[in-house]
Amino acid sequence: MKLVSWQKNQSLRMVLVAAIAFFVLCLLFNLHRYYSFYASYDQGIFNQVFWNSTHGRFFQSSLSSA
């Protein structure tokens, strides 16, 4: 009975380690892309709208055409 419990815990640990590794890898790739200026124009619009919203100017952007 203890062997089955150990195997279930080991499987859960393997899944958690794989999920954390995937998250960290994707985070590093996205941060590298963002800081290397390979981000798209849309990301710049969202970045500026977020910054303006945090400073009290909700949903304002000088980059949008409207």
The sign one gets for the Cα dihedral 37, 41, 42, 48 is positive
Residues 27 and 43 sit within 8 Å (Cβ to Cβ): no
Q: How far apart are CA 9 and CA 3, in angstroms?
A: 10
Q: What is the mean pLDDT of residues 54-65?
A: 78
Secondary structure class of 66 (helix, strand, coil): coil
pTM equals 0.51
Residues 39 and 33 sit within 8 Å (Cβ to Cβ): yes
Nearest of 24, 27, 45 to residue 35 by alpha carbon: 27
Q: What is the pLDDT of residues 11-58, one digit of tens each?
A: 888 999 999 999 999 999 988 887 887 666 777 778 888 888 998 988
Domain boundaries, the chain: 2-54
